[in-house]
């Protein structure tokens, strides 16, 4: 896991946005194909400021890339039997176009499925919640990422989540980043009574060197959910061939 660095003199946000809109966008070459597999191990599965499972979790992932198009499967499984209700198995697809200055724009759709004990089977449409999302990342001089995702299926509130994230520095070989996210209104899905900030965090990541030829990406994040008044300190590591 790594964050790009900011230049010593980033342009103002408005100028960066105008530069992004003016820059020519182009998808990655269509012939570019890739397959990636891996898994994260996290001390807590905290997603958008909410703890799922209250225990150590393993999160496998499979991603297929076809130029700017990516499709994949992602899951999270608590190692505690008591956390089984928070098991998750998602399917997703995204398409990204990039500008010559390093900026990018992504559209994505995610199908959230929660295979909890006693829950409806995968073939039942009401067992799936679908989110449509878009994100934009600024150029290398200001790599702020703005994200918006709306639940459009099996969520009566059409819950809207908005987030901004920013890589701020590399300090002693650790990449540091900030994130702030909010729910735009009352939501049964997020358990909020109205609009409110749910996700404030700072994270640091670096490689844990096991040998001269092998290192494990390792990260720690401090996350605070003002809406629930809960704070978390989460450790994670990534494994991949």
Where are the chain's structural domains? Answer: 13-21+33-239
Position 4 scores a pLDDT of: 28
Q: Return the beta strands (E) in the chain as ranges.
A: 25-27, 33-42, 45-47, 50-52, 57-66, 69-78, 88-99, 104-113, 128-137, 145-153, 160-171, 174-183, 196-211, 214-225, 230-239
Position 5 scores a pLDDT of: 25
CATH class entry, domain 13-21+33-239: mainly beta
The dihedral of CA 38, 43, 46, 50: what is its sign?
Answer: positive
Position 118 scores a pLDDT of: 86
Q: What pTM was computed for the model?
A: 0.85
Which parts of the chain register pLDDT below 50?
A: 1-23, 25
Position 7 scores a pLDDT of: 30
Position 210 scores a pLDDT of: 86
């Amino acid at each position: 896991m790594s964050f790009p660095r900011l230049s010593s003199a980033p342009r103002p946000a408005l100028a960066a946005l105008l530069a992004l809109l003016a820059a020519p966008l182009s998808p990655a070459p269509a012939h570019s194909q890739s397959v990636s597999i891996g898994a994260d191990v996290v001390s807590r599965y905290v997603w958008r400021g909410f703890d799922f499972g209250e225990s150590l979790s393993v999160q496998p992932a499979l991603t297929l890339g076809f130029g700017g198009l990516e499709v994949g499967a992602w899951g999270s499984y608590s190692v505690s039997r008591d956390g089984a209700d928070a098991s998750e198995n998602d399917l997703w697809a995204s398409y990204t176009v990039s500008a010559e200055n390093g900026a990018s724009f992504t559209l994505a759709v995610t199908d959230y499925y929660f295979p909890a004990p006693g829950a409806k089977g995968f073939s039942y449409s009401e067992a799936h919640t679908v989110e449509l999302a878009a994100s934009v990342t600024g150029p290398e001089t200001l790599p702020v990422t703005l994200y918006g995702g709306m639940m459009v299926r099996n969520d009566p509130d059409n819950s809207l989540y908005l987030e901004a994230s920013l890589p701020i520095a590399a300090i002693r070989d650790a990449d540091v980043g900030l994130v702030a996210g909010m729910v735009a209104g009352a939501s049964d899905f997020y358990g909020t009574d109205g609009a409110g900030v749910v996700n404030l965090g700072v994270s640091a990541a670096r490689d844990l060197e096991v040998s001269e030829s092998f290192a494990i990406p390792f990260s720690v994040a401090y996350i605070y959910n003002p809406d629930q008044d809960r704070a978390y300190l989460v450790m994670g590591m990534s494994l991949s061939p």
